[in-house]
Amino acid sequence: MCHEGGCGICMVEAKLYEPISDSMKSYPINSCLCPLFMCDGLEITTIEGVNDVIPKRLAKYNGSQCGYCSPAQVMNMHALLDFNKGSVSMKEVEDAFDDVICRCTGYRPILDAMKSFAVDSSQNNKSTATDIEELGKMFCHKTGQRCHGKCHPEMGQQLQVIGADAVWYRPMTLDQLFKIISDNPGKKVRFVFGNTGSGVYKSDLDLANFDILMDLRGIKELYGIDFDPTVVLGAGLSITQLIDIFTRTKLETSFGYFTQIRNMLQRVATTSVRSLGCWAGNLMLKHLHPEFQSDIYVSLEAANVGLMIVDKTGSNQVPIGQFLKTDMTNKVIVAMLLPSMSDDYFIRMYKVAQRAENSHSFVNAGIRMKIDKSNKFVVKEKPCIVFSGISKDFVHAVQTENYLLGKELSDVKVIQGAMTTLASELNPDPDIDSVEPSVGYRKNVAMGFLYTYFLEVLGDTVGSKFRSGAIPLQRPLSSGQQSYDTKPMEWPLTEPLMKLEAMNQTTGKAQYINDIPLHKPLYAAFVTSTVGNAKLQSMDASKALSMPGVLKFITAKDIPGTNNCYPPLDPTFMVEEVLCSGDVMYAGQALGIIVADDEDIANRATEQVLVTYSDQKPPIISIEDGIREKSFFPKPGDVVKVGDAETAIANSPKKITGSISFGAQQHFQMETQISICTPTEDGMDVEASTQWIDLTQQSTAMVLGLPESSINVKVKRLGGAYGSKITRNLNVSAGCAIAAQIMKRPVKLNMEFHTNFKMLGRRPSYRADYNVGCSNDGMLNGIKIQIYGDLGYLPNDNSLPGIAPWMDNAYFCANWKLTPVAVKTNKPMNTACRAPGSTPAIFMMESIMENVAKELNLDPTSFRTLNLYKKGQKTPLGNTLNYCNIRQLVPELMSSSDYKSRAATVQAFNQANRWKKKGLSVVPIKFGISYAGVHYNAIVNIYAGDGSISIAHGGIESGQGINTKVSQVCAYELGVPMDLIKVKANTTLANANDVTTGGSITSELCCLAVINCCQDLKTRMAPVKAKMKNPSWKDLAQKCIEDKVDLSSRYCVFQPGTDDIHYNSYGVTCTEVEFDVLTGQHLINRVDILYDCGESMNPMIDVGQVEGAFVMGLGYWLTESVKFASTTGQLLTRSTWEYKPPMAKDIPIDFKIQLLKNAPNPVGVLRSKAVGEPPLCMSCSALFALKRCVEAARQDIQKDTFFPLDGPATVDRLQELCLVDPSQFVI
């Protein structure tokens, strides 16, 4: 998907040369980084080549929701087991799962499934051992016989492949390599080993930029391993193999520092990137880009290694300290030499990154000193203090190194002197990278690393309160517990069943839109703008059209219908152009469409269209910009007034004023937007990644100038959505349809990953300014809020009106005033993202509660509990809470989570430790569910021949398990086995006039539609059944047709109930975190969630929804930062290098989910409640738990005043709020 090795979706298994055993062994690799010619002689296994042992386990554990990442998860595990011959530990499994992003599950079920194979797992039993034995038994798809690997070619031969633009060579010796270079003077040569650097610096390292591509993998001289008398490790060793060597090698203490290097290497990139890339290639990347924060370079510099470098004249040993200044033209690193060191050397490596794994360093450090611990910790020789992430030219802290020589580290004045010296020479470059943290943060962290080093060296001589600064955060194995009700008498209803599609997804058999086979299709790609707030002056596509395979460049004037892809559902909606006709509103806006006979060519050709602009103005890219420029949309939504908030606040003894801001969030659905359009004799067939087929149908009809009945839209499943595919597929499908209509051929438009980020909107950012009045004891009297929402350049997907229903969260207040303000910015139109109105509303309210509690000097949890709703009270929208159990849920969770004793433990920990802190936070939720304006239909067909059943319903399966729940309900209502039931694709023929899938209500309302269909069918069939004696289902179906009974039923659910809130879901979350004050890094030690989802139709699916939503929320609040360039408005965080959704080690270590038992919903469909969105809203508890940590750190320096913690609370923001100053670095 990403073509960077960052998402892991393209994972395959490759047998690569492993020099320790001198054999080919299995490794996971990213196929997107592996050029085809490199595969010559390799054995590559894809999901089609493995049996169903691992897929079955993953499916059984509910480790597949949308399923788009599932084959990659399977391949990752298959390679791990194959490499280790089936014997792995649970820790090895967790460490290996750092390379495939899953947006759906929250990772817990994936990890549980894979850890069940481990030798130390309680789930490992005789059947597991048998399953592992079966892993290697694969069958050839050609012969149908057991595969013995005999048809795979052998590596070991020189290779030359002549392409259209470059020649690919694979020399087998260094002599051959240098001869090829000599034979090609003046040619641009690139050495290729793992090609992983192209995922970071694609423009520099794109293979298309070079004349000669030199594959180094066949040169055995690069794989040397020697320990006698000097440790020499070949440049061809992958990072994974280097880790393996440092792990398995048991050497004398003179090489004890290997452990430090290994620990650092394990945090480099991902398992799959480490498997393919070599350490020498990483150094060359640092040589090419000195600003690159290479963990490997810093580690090897600290270890004082030597590099053996060769060219055609011979070899030369270069100290690594001279490497960056060495001319490497036509030279190759062949090995590193690692010195032995006496045990008075103390070597440490440090790193801080945005998330726990699969994340580049913001700052890293390597420090080596020779210290006499018996003599006041004297530094006996000039130290080595190396940093990366400060500036491209800063490597050694030379002045600090010189200062420390001969000094006694036990002297506090020396520590302060070192800090002063380091501060004077650390001058971080503010422009090192536009998305990197602030200068202040990088400087503070770098100084903190040296301080941490001193604390480690000094050990027990350091004051007990400060020792925690030397102890790294250690993440133990994660685990989870799930508790829920099920009623066997009602099965399959309430049964915790595996998703119907799970096995097809985990085995790779599930077909997504990009998998649909096409006959001679064409491929389309958007040309997008590079600036915002300008006029489109001209476009010259001649260079693109001259590329082989490029067929057409389409502009706005070529559109056969209307240049508007957004149907006018509301008179206030504005035109959304498919292609820009003049006003360039944002960087990334679609300007034209390239059509080619190859997808890669189409994407490359978009970069060759020359675009010029005029009247360019500074873009408005923030809410603050919009306020300053008075850039607002009219009619942002109604002002909500309840009682008299101003008077209530004015008359209150306590008045609090504040502001809170929180940023945008990418949907990061694993399947980017895609559409396939095929012209037909009467219109257009459209396969689209849409959550709303009717809107896609209307949009396509508009741009083609055809009636809606001529457009046939079909969706089988989506590879994730989260709101991104409600309206943001409209432009994509419209553009694809225009291209297909013009070319009169099938066209696929598969949005390139980075273009998907740039062109399409995301969750909006917000700012809330508030005034609150309350009593002296903390009872809320009045709340006044002005909330600003960044809608982008169009207001059509305005989420501000959706905030009001949730603005109170779980708290009663008699007087409210909410004023929405819609800010117009030069960004894509922002859109719905999972829990679009409730997420900002609840965080806004919880932030207010935090502020008021602090000002009143009240415990935040006690203050929240004091103001919780009671049964019978009215919400601001006038709904009476006839059912309200939040005052029961909060104490129940606090009891089950042992909150009181844990809070005391946390307090004691914080008092005892200056540099590590812990925090606890409790966040409740009242989540209103409304059915206003919705309609979903379903068709149930019973086939008379065998009694099997098909269902077509109005919802789109996107991982939420809607098809499974619908089937369970159908089986329950008709009294038939579930294996008789098949759920068909959603189409505009069978499911016309439905609304979008979303809002957490689609599953239950489609189930309601199916219930009505089934009841209708049972009514029709009852007279026939009454005439028969205990008929089988099949016989009954056949007899019904004989008696002219229609066995097809269609029903449409139109807004059950009124426009009011139909019911409320309630829940409460308790989160505990541990925090490093010096870096801002943290662990989520434990999360307890108690959630009332009524009587769950399928507890396994609903638990998965709780976990997945919560972890997506963790990303929003903690790691996912969206940044734009101030001069052009370009999105800066548009790749996996910069944008960081949670990975498996970002989830709670102890993840406990309880679905409230014995809590049927009297007004719900089959007594159930919604579950897809509410848990995300409670994930802000992690942010507030971290706020407790920052408060504890500020208490230590007597600066315990209120501060707002804006979202996302990234590591740099958290650390800077701790107000750490080097003067505090005492021992």
Please give the CATH topology (third level) of the domain spanning 766-930+1061-1217: Aldehyde Oxidoreductase; domain 4 (3.30.365)
Confidence of residue 127 (pLDDT cuts 50, 70, 90): low
Confidence of residue 139 (pLDDT cuts 50, 70, 90): low
Residue 170 pLDDT more than 90?
yes
Residue 297 pLDDT more than 60?
yes
Q: What is the pLDDT of residues 59-70, one digit of tens each?
A: 999 999 999 999
Confidence of residue 208 (pLDDT cuts 50, 70, 90): confident
Mean pLDDT within 252-261: 89
> Is 321 annotated as contributing to ligand binding?
no
**Averaged pLDDT of the chain:** 95
**Six token digits for residue 968:** 């369970």
**Six token digits for residue 697:** 């149908």
Domain 11-155 identical in fold to domain 342-462: no
What is residue 161's predicted lDDT score, i.e. its pLDDT? 82
Class of domain 514-617+668-759: alpha beta
Confidence of residue 229 (pLDDT cuts 50, 70, 90): confident
Mean pLDDT within 269-292: 97
> Is 66 annotated as contributing to ligand binding?
yes
600: CB partners within 8 A, 6+ apart: none
Q: Which helix (H) or strand (E) holds 486?
A: none
Q: For the chain, how big is the Rg over CA atoms in Å?
A: 31
Q: What is the pLDDT of residues 30-76, one digit of tens each?
A: 999 999 989 988 999 999 999 999 999 999 999 999 999 999 999 99
Confidence of residue 124 (pLDDT cuts 50, 70, 90): confident
Please give the CATH topology (third level) of the domain spanning 11-155: DNA polymerase; domain 1 (1.10.150)
Instruction: Say if residues 734 and 618 touch (Cβ distance below 8 Å).
Output: no
The one-character DSSP state at 1208 is S
Q: What is the pLDDT of residues 1176-1200, one digit of tens each?
A: 999 999 999 999 999 999 999 999 9
DSSP helix/strand/coil, 118: coil
DSSP helix/strand/coil, 215: strand
Q: What is the pLDDT of residues 1144-1154, one digit of tens each?
A: 999 999 999 99
Residue 156 pLDDT more than 60?
no
Percent of the chain with pLDDT over 70: 97
User: Which residue in the block uniquely carries the two structure tokens 């480490």?
Assistant: 274
Confidence of residue 796 (pLDDT cuts 50, 70, 90): very high
Mean pLDDT within 213-224: 95
Residue 261 pLDDT more than 70?
yes
Confidence of residue 943 (pLDDT cuts 50, 70, 90): very high
> Is 2 annotated as contributing to ligand binding?
yes
> Is 871 annotated as contributing to ligand binding?
no
Mean pLDDT within 165-171: 90
> Is 999 annotated as contributing to ligand binding?
yes
Rounded to whole angstroms, the Cα distance separating 732 from 819 reads 34
Burial class (CB in 10 A: 0-12, 13-18, 19+), 22: exposed
What is residue 434's predicted lDDT score, i.e. its pLDDT? 85
Q: What is the pLDDT of residues 1105-1119, one digit of tens each?
A: 999 999 999 999 999
> Is 677 annotated as contributing to ligand binding?
no
> Is 32 annotated as contributing to ligand binding?
yes
Confidence of residue 203 (pLDDT cuts 50, 70, 90): confident
What is the DSSP code string of 320-339?
Answer: HHHHTTS--TT-EEEEEEE-
Confidence of residue 976 (pLDDT cuts 50, 70, 90): very high
Q: What is the pLDDT of residues 390-415, one digit of tens each?
A: 999 999 999 999 999 999 999 999 99
- What count of other Cβ atoms lies within 10 Å of the Cβ of residue 137? 10
Rounded to whole angstroms, the Cα distance separating 1047 from 1031 reads 16
Catalytic one among 1072, 1173, 1191, 1216? 1173
Let me know if domain 935-1054 sits in CATH 3.40.50.720: no
Domain boundaries, the chain: 11-155, 342-462, 514-617+668-759, 766-930+1061-1217, 935-1054
Burial class (CB in 10 A: 0-12, 13-18, 19+), 406: exposed
Mean pLDDT within 236-246: 96
> Is 7 annotated as contributing to ligand binding?
yes
> Is 982 annotated as contributing to ligand binding?
no
The one-character DSSP state at 221 is G
> Is 1070 annotated as contributing to ligand binding?
no
Q: What is the pLDDT of residues 568-624, one digit of tens each?
A: 988 889 999 999 999 999 999 999 999 999 999 999 999 999 999 999 999 999 999
Class of domain 342-462: alpha beta
Whether 495 is a known active-site residue: answer: no
